[in-house]
Amino acid sequence: MSFYKMIKESLFLVPVMGLVGVVIGSMYLGFATATEAAAVGVVGALILSAAQGSLNWSTFSVSLMGATKTSAMIALILMGAAFLSLSMGFTGLPRAMAELIESYNLSPVALIAVLTVFYLILGMFMDGLSSVVLTMAIVEPMIRTAGIDLIWFGIFLVVVIETAQVTPPIGFNLFVLQGMTKHEIGYIAKTAIPMVALMLLMVVILVIFPELATWLPENIRQRN
């Protein structure tokens, strides 16, 4: 296949990439919240489908029903996760584990390594917000005492919590993908392993080069 022909056949991706840019750009530029940006994406997708001639009542109804089924499935999984989070909160297990880590008086690097494992395990059983809320009262003083930048730790925590959501064998998002793709959970878990490895590599890079996380906030702070 010639280079010209390859470029010509890939031109259909330009509108799609443009839509992605508009959705993400609207959030980063502050024009829309995440929910509003999602609505922009839906309207943009409908416009693109109509322009390409693929939008009709049949395709629209199929897409609508597919979105409804996926949303209902995710809502049921979230209900189960909320119940489990509430149960674990009553047992006090997350708080007890955080207090146990605090009692070890670890060095900053060792503390980050232990917290990474801690939140990976916790995030497989609880949603991200519950994991943070139930443990932050204990973890935050540890971070301050160790001299770790709180902005850096916030970014680190987001990465680790999101990694936990796809960590085999029972990451929350794995079950979402299973419902969407109809594959067995074992297959989903195996295909998620490279993604988890990449996100853990991101954590290592953040530890080695913390400026990657703090450079932009510090520059904005200095301008203000």
pTM of this prediction?
0.63
Q: Give Cα 50 distance to the centre of its chain.
A: 31
The domain locations on the chain are 1-55, 68-223
To 10 degrees, what angle do helices 128-145 and 93-102 make?
Answer: 20
Quick check: 224 pLDDT over 60?
no
pLDDT digits (tens, 9 = 90+) for 29-74: 778 787 888 888 888 888 888 887 777 888 888 888 888 887 787 7
107: Cβ contacts below 8 Å, ≥ 6 apart: 146
Q: Give the mean model confidence (pLDDT) for residues 118-133.
A: 77
Res 205: pLDDT? 92
pLDDT digits (tens, 9 = 90+) for 146-199: 888 888 998 898 889 888 888 877 777 787 777 777 788 788 888 888 888 898
Res 70: pLDDT? 75
CA distance between the termini of the chain: 53
Res 88: pLDDT? 65
With contact defined as beta carbons under 8 Å apart, do 14 and 31 qualify?
Answer: no
Q: Give the mean model confidence (pLDDT) for residues 90-94.
A: 71
Backbone dihedral angles phi then psi of residue 31, each to the nearest 5 degrees: -80, -20
Helix/strand/coil (H, E, C) string of the chain?
A: CCHHHHHHHCCCHHHHHHHHHHHHHHHHCCCCCHHHHHHHHHHHHHHHHHHHCCCCHHHHHHHHHHHHHHHHHHHHHHHHHHHHHHHHHHHCHHHHHHHHHHCCCCCHHHHHHHHHHHHHHHHCCCCHHHHHHHHHHHHHHHHHHCCCCHHHHHHHHHHHHHHHCCCCCCCHHHHHHHHHHCCCHHHHHHHHHHHHHHHHHHHHHHHHCCHHHHHHHHHHHHHC
- What number of other Cβ atoms are within 10 A of residue 113's Cβ? 15
Percent of the chain with pLDDT over 70: 87
Burial grade of 90 (CB within 10 A; 0-12, 13-18, 19 or more): exposed
